[in-house]
Amino acid sequence: MSLPIYLIGARGCGKTTVGQALSQATGYAFCDTDHYLQLTTQRSVAQIVAEEGWEGFRARESESLQAVTAPATIIATGGGMVLAEANRRFMRENGQVIWLNASPDILAERLEMQPEAEQRPTLTGRPIVEEMHDVLRERAQLYRQAAHHEVDAMQSPDRVVEQILRSLSLARAS
């Protein structure tokens, strides 16, 4: 049985883009927890947060993680998935967890190039560069704690996929 592969990291690190490319490279299915959540609730992330608050959104996010977990599946998680200890433990125990790590400046640049306000509501209302610095400062330890492997996400998606495949083959060999 092929374990699922969870992609974690901050908004803009490339979880969806890399996940789709990794899916093609491995033949695994691909699922995005935010997309799953939007399909099942028929609301955007921003709408869920506005109607239920962050706490309600986080509870739904945890449910979606468990709902999409399946063998031979690449799962792109929401940036805050690691905030709940139960989610970190669930991912570590049920698959391989890959942290797509990128600098806050690169993340902010990517988010500014593809603003999806409905998809990615601001966490603080502050400029995106400041927000990304704060988010990484708060979450880096949680990403590190959850991850089996850390990958440099500041390179092209193809290079990131190559690095993930190398990390996973080394993990299988040991």
Known binder of ligand: residue 19?
no
- In this structure, the dihedral spanned by the alpha carbons of residues 139, 143, 145 and 149, taken in order and rounded to 10 degrees, is -160
Known binder of ligand: residue 17?
yes
Known binder of ligand: residue 34?
yes
In 27-56, which positions are buried (b, 16+ CB within 10 angstroms) versus exposed (e)? ebebbbbbbbbbeebebbbbebbeeeeeee
Known binder of ligand: residue 53?
no
Sheet holding 73-76, edge to edge: 29-32, 73-76, 5-8, 96-101, 149-152
Q: What are phi and psi of 83, to 5 degrees?
A: -65, -30
Known binder of ligand: residue 166?
no
Q: Which secondary structure element, helix H or strand E, spans residue 161, and what is its range?
A: helix 157-173
Known binder of ligand: residue 126?
no
Known binder of ligand: residue 33?
no
In whole angstroms, what is the distance from residue 137 CA to residue 159 CA? 26
Known binder of ligand: residue 15?
yes
Known binder of ligand: residue 13?
yes
Question: Could you tell me which residues are annotated as the binding site for ATP?
Answer: 12-17, 120
Question: Could you tell me which residues are annotated as the binding site for Mg(2+)?
Answer: 16
Question: Could you tell me which residues are annotated as the binding site for substrate?
Answer: 34, 58, 79, 139
Question: Could you tell me which residues are annotated as the binding site?
Answer: 12-17, 34, 58, 79, 120, 139
